[in-house]
Amino acid sequence: MTERNDIGVMIEEIEATPQMVADKLPEFMAELQRRSTLFEGRHYTKVYAVGCGDSLYAAQAAQYAFMKNTGLPCQACEALEFCRYDVDYMPAGALVLVISYSGTVARTVECARMAKRAGATVVAITGKERGALAQTCGEAVVYHIDSRGFAPGTISFSASLLMLYACSVALGRANGYLTPDAAAAQHAQLAALPAVLRSALAVGRAPALAAAERYTGLKDFTIIGAGPNLAIAHYGAAKLIEGGEISGTPQELEEWAHIQYFTTQQRDCVVVIAPAGRCCSRAAELLAEMRFLGCGSVLVGTGDAGDLPADFALLAEDGVDEVYTPLVTGLLCALFAYSLSLASGKQAYNFPSQQIEEEHYRTIHHSAFRPEAEEVAP
């Protein structure tokens, strides 16, 4: 059967995400219990979370959860940056989580080899138990997600992020940073997310489509965020590019005022990711500046818009710990990206030609390793 690539695949996977989180969280916790020796009795000094593309954004979004739940420093690294640079300065006793659902991306395999060479504990977070990444790491936390076809990754990103959140709780419980009651409280927060996601989608559909219709034809958006949601600025930009072939430029919330402020014009639109938390006061100031400049704005967040004067707002209910909000804001950014694709008349997701598709996957899956990585047995 030919794999579906119609635009409906993306929205179906977005809409399936709340139930996926509800169904998979117990499975993920069971998998981590099965792999408990990865965490128990270990004395890790630092956590690295490494990936490319959506896997990188999941790592970046989860690093604050690791610091909150484990008491350990956590560094999210883009795969090439890690295997060619950061790994050379990695402290003894590091835990390296290498994230790739396919398990076949050359750069993440190189990361695993280099981390092993440096003496770290290396664990694959992957959907392929027998894939190249899992085999290279030797240790793997495996999860499976049903895909409805070829589309920008949404449900797969949410699953990776959920697994990393679950890992942070499991590690914090194992190293004693979280008491049993504290670990249970974090698990309860994760278990409450499906209801928040369902409500966010129900409330967000109309403003997402209204914003998309307003900005149809605009070919460049700036997306800004802070803290754990800086990762979602990158993820949201990626979904615009993948979904509608629309340029998305991610930026730190504060840095927009120092850089893009000077080139922002009335025809532009800035997506501001600002859930209830530490960035809201600054987001309110910047939204006021956008109104002064006359440009459009879309707010993605949680709680009441209140003093956040955006033209459009995609808001989930309040009460989600800021470290876990990327699961919510990421879904709303995906909904906005889908809505832009729909409003622009997009009907299917595909490559311009089979030759370009083959070349794209070749450059990702077949790439030369750093010479030292070649010395490590796969």
pLDDT grade for 3, boundaries at 50, 70 and 90: confident
Confidence of residue 1 (pLDDT cuts 50, 70, 90): low
CA 188 distance to own-chain centroid: 21
The CA-CA-CA angle for residues 60, 126, 232, to 5°, reads 25
- 99 and 187, same structural domain? yes
| Residues 182 and 247 reside in one and the same domain | no
63/181 same-domain check = yes
Judge if 202 and 185 occupy the same domain. Answer: no
Residue 46 has pLDDT above 70, yes or no: yes
For 289-320, the pLDDT digits (tens) are: 999 999 999 999 998 877 788 999 999 999 99
Helix 326-343 to helix 53-70 angle (10° resolution) is 160
Residues 185 and 307 in one domain: no
54 and 162 fall within a common domain: yes
Q: What is the pLDDT of residue 344?
A: 87
Whether pLDDT at 361 is above 80: no
The token duo for 166 is: 């679950």
Q: Could you tell me the CATH number of the domain that includes residue 181?
A: 3.40.50.10490
User: Based on the domain organization, do 206 and 278 belong to the same domain?
Assistant: yes
Decide if 334 is inside a domain: yes
pLDDT tens per residue, range 214-227: 999 999 999 999 99
Same domain, yes or no: 50 and 168: yes
Does 147 lie in the same domain as 18? yes
Which pLDDT tens digit goes with each residue over 28-38? 999 999 999 99
The token pair that represents 201 in the structure block: 């989608």
User: Which of the four pLDDT bands, split at 50, 70 and 90, describes residue 21?
Assistant: very high
**356 belongs to a structural domain:** no
In a domain, 43, yes or no: yes
Q: What is the pLDDT of residue 17?
A: 98
Residues 250 and 305 in one domain: yes
Q: Are residues 180 and 225 in the same domain?
A: no
**Helix/strand number for the chain, H first, E second:** 14, 10
Same domain, 237 and 306: yes
CA distance 287 to 266: 14
What number is the average pLDDT over the span 14-26?
A: 98
Q: Note down the domain range covering 296.
A: 195-343
Phi/psi of residue 367, nearest 5 degrees: -145, 140
Q: Are 338 and 18 in contact (CB under 8 A)?
A: no
Residue 167 pLDDT: 98
Least confident of 182-196, 199-213, 226-240, 360-374: 360-374
Residue 2 in domain:
no
**Which position has the token pair 């876990």?**
324
- Please indicate, yes or no, if residue 224 is contained in any of the structural domains: yes
Residues 349 and 244: beta-carbon distance below 8 Å: no
Write the DSSP symbol of residue 323.
Answer: G
Summarised one tens digit per residue, pLDDT across range 330-360 is 999 999 999 999 998 888 777 778 888 788 8
| Whole-number pLDDT of residue 362 | 84
Residue-level pLDDT at 151: 84
* Residue 68 located in a structural domain: yes
Q: Percent of the chain at pLDDT above 90?
A: 83
Q: What domain count does the chain have? A: 2
Residue 298 resides in a domain: yes
Mean pLDDT for 183-207 is 98
For residue 215, being part of any structural domain is answered with yes
